[in-house]
Structure 1
Amino acid sequence: MKIKASASMIFLLSLPFFMGCGPHHLQKGQSLKPDIQTEEALRKHTDIFKQAVERIAKNVYVAIGYGLANSIMIEGYDGLIIVDTMETRETARSVLAEFRKISAKPVKAIIYTHNHTDHVFGADVFASGSEPAIYAHETTDYLVNRVVGELRPAINTRAMRMFGTFLDQDGLVNAGIGPFLGVGKEESTLGYMPPTVTFKDRLEARVAGIRFELIHAPGETDDQLYVWLPDQRVLICGDNFYWAFPNLYTIRGTSFRSLKQWYQSIDIIRAIRPEYLVPCHTRPIQGADRIYEILTDYRDAIQFVHDQSIRGINMGMTPGELVEFVTLPPHLKDAPYLQPFYGTVAWSVRAMFSGNMGWFDGDSASLDPLSRKAQARLMAELAGGEAGLYQHAKNALEKGEYQAALQLSGHLLQLWCDNTDYKGLRFLALTALGEKAQNPNARHYYLTEALEIREGFVASSPVKPGTEMLRRLPLANFFSALAVSLNAEESREKDIRAIVKFPDTRQAFFVHVRFGVAEINERRPDAVTLADADIIVTADAQKWKEMLARVRSPLLVLPTFDYEKGNLLSFAGFMKLFEPQAAKLPHEPAR
């Protein structure tokens, strides 16, 4: 399902639909119109992403505003180096078309600054017609495969909300560090290519006469790297700096990002003192002294959050208390390049707690807390029943206490999840919070969840990996993702062994579904015997990948396999145990 709507339009259309909680929740003269100051700040910030290809040094060009990230072209005497390849083939093609107006030389090398979607998934467009070396940190390929495998469904949905993919230009003013994320469009396809040259700490190389050094610089990701061009005194810093408060934690979901490593990596740039700093989001900066000054503030902000969070933790503070305790000093809070257009101090502080201390906040009441539903029942009892809780939520909305209204709506919907009035109340609270949020990620998340409630869908990208990208992905990744898709409830009483053989890749995988767990390991195809499994199937590797990636229907693929033991019906029933389950909305009770 593809839906585009603005926040204001959503609100206006919702009034007749949510008669029970529409105008009755607004005081006379009160509205949910956009916060003008917030709207102006967001639109002014958009100027940073004005679409253009800028020349940085004699032979270094950066494409800005064609997608979420920048792509950089370095022109050598007989070829090109491309640093970062955009988020899809479609955005990559638009950038390559602009680069081709400057140079028709072949692409000799591609460099990934890190594993994120918006930097790697347009690679095969730039590589078309040539065989470039692809440089990356030694962990990049693993990290790409992890995201497109086991965690893809959850990260996909949360990313669609965070980047406002389903909002129109009224709701999606910009994405904080770029104009928009090109992933999620119906026409989007992915073209990732695995690295061919990797390194651990530092690597010096020369391509097309261009001398460069790759420097491992963990920060926004553990595999982050810098590209240092000593002859041009240009440093490409990946995502360790951009014109916004850094995303020390991302609400789409991520493993812990070490703040200490991040500010120490920024110190590497300060020690080099480049004349040009080229971030992979927002605009470049020129002038060694200016760069040094800006980066000093930037790393100080990160260290401040790190140090004061640890200080607060050692004082016994919980995550909520830390958020109130850690506030940037004025000279950092007011800095134009540290405004909360991408990350926020509050989110970073919470991540510092969980990343260093784990989920337990130290309060004994948190050791075995009430379930969401039990807590909701308690809140309803304290409010005098369902009607009382609803009235408290309505009162909060009328007083402009939108966060309180949102949280109370969550309690109501845990107990009465199909109540239209309660959904409408939550919708209005989300819309109000979204309209007033300066942070684009928060704005989009609020407004998209509001849209999901109104239209009855869960945000999800229809984007498909390209055929060649699937061909390059290891079969092991698909089986790893299979294990975490097992329906434990349906398989609780089952004990079934299956082997899938792939003659074209000379691999075989053993899958043992054993009372709610899928044990998976690789076998040698020539060592498989009939006694090893209840079902033995011979399959084409590419068709298998396309089936699991939802590029091809199982109804069309399964009949093409050969069944050495068992049959089509038994294997289809086995595979049904791994059928993806529909995701729920945040306010809905667990199924």
Structure 2
Amino acid sequence: MKTVISVAAVLAMAFATPSWAQQAKPVGGKPATAATKAANAAVLKELPFNDKSDFEDAHRGFIATPATLTIKNAKGEVVWDLEAYKTYISEDKAAPDSINPSLYRNAQLNMINGLFKVTDRIYQVRGFDLSNITFIQGDTGWIVFDPLISTETAKAALDFANEKLGKRPVVAVVYSHSHVDHYGGVRGLASDEDFKSGKVRVFAPEHFTEHAVSENVIAGNAMSRRAIYMYGALLPRNEFGGVNGGLGQTTSTGTGTLVIPTDEVKKTGEEYVVDGVKMVFQMTPGTEAPAEMNTFFPQFKAMWMAENSTNTMHNILTLRGAQVRDALKWASYLNETIDLYGAKTDVKFQSHHWPQWGTDKIIDYWKKQRDLYKYTHDQSVNLMNKGYTGEEISEMIKLPPELDKFWPNRGYYGSLRHNSRAVYQRYMGWYNGNPANLNNLPPEQSAKKYVEYMGGEAAVIKRAKADFAKGEYRWTAEALKHVVFANPNSKAGKELLADSLEQLGYQAESGPWRGVYLMGAYELRNGVPAAGGINTATPDTIKAMPPEMLFDYLAVRLNGPKAAGKKIGLNIDFTDLKKQYGLAVENAVLNYGKPLAQADAKLTLSKGTLDAIQLKEITLEQAVASGALKIDGKREAFAEFMGLLDTFPFWFHIVTP
């Protein structure tokens, strides 16, 4: 790193996407085996595929759809493309052998795209991004709920709505919660001046900005790398690759932005009337997001559910990594929704998937979504208290038929297996109580011993081939991961492990599970990419980061062994914020607080200069030369401090050592 407190690569955000042009061409895509065909055929018998009510709801209120749905940025680069999916996902086609029929059904529903009327004065544009964008018709303009990930997709959706419904200005934006697919496209809706002047109000739940900015800062690099797996970023768009992400088809890759809210909602029952539309908010912090809220529209008897209830089982712990969510709290807020708004609601809609109509049907849906999370929590804890571990619980727990056969409870995004483990983790942590697992060997060391005990690499591969032929892919993946970690140059081991993961991916009902399995197979066959463009933190995100958040990140970057025995003190004066901080390296730890009485050097700059350095708009040398950054005292102390900061490699290995 060449710059002072520079975080030009501060975060590789969870939704960052590699540059496709620099990636290896995917190979593989082998046919489904007989065992996979049988497993997927069994799904057709287990679930009520004759129930077409979801398709009726997904089509209801349809107004128009573009002839083609490919969205480009100002440079002509594609940031969203639904067309590739149309070649192998269609309502009138059966699921290919290589796709779980239930996941394929979810993809068919998510491919129903365009502009829809939800109810009087409420419209949605669906299929323009991972999430939906909703337009509430006020007396003079649009109130927009959740403006997608990218400015390009949000603008395209607004333009399409204006074309079909009549042009109206945006007068307000509502962020339902603090995940990027619900605010990132906001600057595609209005001019910067409209936001700065307050002409467009922006509503959000309390603590929204803090959580929107801090999401994935500390562990952002590792989360982002794993997100490549979860979202199948490098997979081809065909029946052997990406199908969908469970919540929608995939994520857009355009320009992400953030406008700081003008109005923070702090309590349930808080009401606002905006442009003739009354909104009553229900706060739901700590459910699907740390800052989240539902919205009731009494004029229209309509309930906006944010992402607290969608048409899938959600994640209690996302596979890219995050803090574990509280399934019990999630269920309690859904129960509150029923109590406060159930009898008043004629239509419910949300930021993913399609709406539902009819009070009785909606209440039944909410009860089953509530009980999905409550059952997962209660029965996981029940089994935990009987002495079972997370792995054992995930194998044992089964939903009752009334919850399991309910389409909106199927595991397209989350899954019962990993959600039950998440509940165990929330209460018990990583250690399962067995002393053998308290200080067990790391993967490479244990792999070599496993392979030795099993008679050597050739013997393991021979046995694994026999088990693969039987369709025992979970076991062959378990055995062969040891072969690969013991000998990363084992071509036969890597090929058979890739084949095993691929078949598991073909059988997966969860979009992220499919992505994880197939990305693992991809890297075993292609190798780990050595390069690729990463969209790091957006300018708006960097500008919204308070200094304290930056210092926390610098502390994570400090190389402890290199810092051992060193003492460095730096004072930083932010002239525009009228705030001063002291940074101290001691005991191989970076702490910050009030200015130090004795510092080795003092840095004087504005937060705007810091932002410009982080965004690589200027270099450290240019900032010093221009006087925007002044360094007093021992400049070598500052240079030494910078030399202690690690830059994290993005493309670290996952399925190979």
TM-score by length of 1: 0.87
Select 2:203's aligned residue among 130, 135, 147.
Answer: 135
Alignment pair present for 1:179 and 2:249: yes
**Which range moved further: 484-493 or 538-547?**
538-547
Structure 2 contact 22–531 (Cα < 8 Å) conserved: no
Q: Counterpart in 2 of 1:10?
A: 27
Residue aligning to 1:410: 481
Matches within 5 A, 1:197-236: 197-202=263-268, 203-218=270-285, 219-236=287-304
Say which SS state the counterpart of residue 36 (structure 1) adopts. coil
What's the CA shift string for 1:188-215, capped at 9, x where partnerless? 2221122232233221111111111111
**2:421 is matched with which residue?**
350
Shift of 1:586: 1.9
Please give the alpha-carbon distance, in whole angstroms, between the structure 2 residues aligned to 1:5 and 1:395: 37
SS of the residue corresponding to residue 124 of structure 2 reads strand
- Judge conservation of contact 2:348–2:362 (CA < 8 Å) in 1: yes
Name the residue aligned to 1:58: 120
Counterpart selection for 1:168 from 236, 248, 273 = 236
Give the Cα separation in 2 of the matches to 1:534 and 1:303. 55
Which structure has more relative contact order (CA 8 Å, sep 6+)? It is 2
How do 1:389-408 residues align onto structure 2 when only pairs under 5 Å count?
A: 389-408=460-479
Q: How far is the alpha carbon of 1:267 from its aligned partner?
A: 1.9
Q: Which residue of 2 aligns with 1:20?
A: none
Q: RMSD of the alignment, in Å?
A: 3.2
| Distance across 2 between alignment mates of 1:387 and 1:142 | 53
Contact 1:386/1:412 (<8 A) preserved = yes
Task: Give the residue type in structure 2 aligned to 1:342.
Answer: Y
Partners in 2 of 1:164 and 1:586 — Cα distance?
14
Distance 1:536 1:401, change over 3 A: same
2:174 equivalent to 1:108: no
Whole-Å separation in 1 of the counterparts to 2:208 and 2:406 = 32
* Counterpart Cα distance in 1 of 2:432 and 2:539: 46
Q: What is the CA distance between 1:558 and its match in structure 2?
A: 7.0
The aligned counterpart of 1:19 is none
Would the alpha carbon gap of residues 465 and 231 (structure 1) be closer, same or farther in structure 2, given more than 3 Å must change? same
Residue of structure 2 equivalent to 1:68:
130
Tell me which moved more, 558-567 or 151-160: 558-567
Decide which of 41, 47, 68 is 2:108's aligned counterpart: 47
Select which of 467, 472, 477 maps to 2:549.
Answer: 477
**Fraction of identical pairs, as percent:** 24
One-letter code of the match for 1:541? K
Counterpart of 2:262 (choices 187, 196, 199) is: 196
More moved, 225-234 vs 135-144: 135-144
Q: Contact 1:157/1:459 (CA < 8 Å) preserved in 2?
A: no
- The equivalent residue for 1:269 is 337
- Give distance in 2, aligned partners of 1:410 and 1:492: 36
Does residue 487 (structure 1) correspond to residue 487 (structure 2)? The answer is: no
Q: How many residue pairs align between the two structures?
A: 566
Residues 464-493 of structure 1: per-residue CA shift (max 9 Å, x gap): 444344333323222221111112232224
CA contact (8 A) 2:451 2:486 kept: no
Moved more, 363-372 or 157-166: 363-372
Instruction: Please tell me whether the aligned partners of residues 452 and 458 of structure 1 are also in contact (alpha carbons under 8 angstroms).
Output: no
**Are the structure 2 counterparts of residues 445 and 99 from structure 1 closer, same or farther at C-alpha, using a change threshold of 3 Å?**
same
Q: Which residue pairs with 1:578 in the alignment?
A: 645
Of 507, 510, 520, 1:436 maps to 507
In the TM superposition, residue 9 of structure 1 has moved relative to its aligned partner by: 5.2
In structure 2, do the counterparts of structure 1 residues 169 and 543 end up closer, same or farther at CA, with 3 Å as the change threshold? Answer: farther
What is the CA distance between 1:46 and its match in structure 2?
2.1
The answer (yes or no) to whether the contact 1:5–1:168 under 8 Å persists in 2 is: no
For residues 436 and 136 of structure 1, the distance between their equivalents in structure 2, rounded to whole angstroms, comes to 39
| Aligned partner of residue 316 in structure 1, secondary structure | coil
Letter in 1 for 2:574: F
Ranges in structure 2 where 5+ consecutive residues have no aligned partner: 1-17, 41-94
Partner SS state of residue 178, structure 1 = coil
Alpha-carbon separation, structure 2, partners of 1:554 and 1:422 = 48
The equivalent position to 1:155 in structure 2, one of 223, 247, 268, is 223
The answer (yes or no) to whether the contact 1:156–1:460 under 8 Å persists in 2 is: no
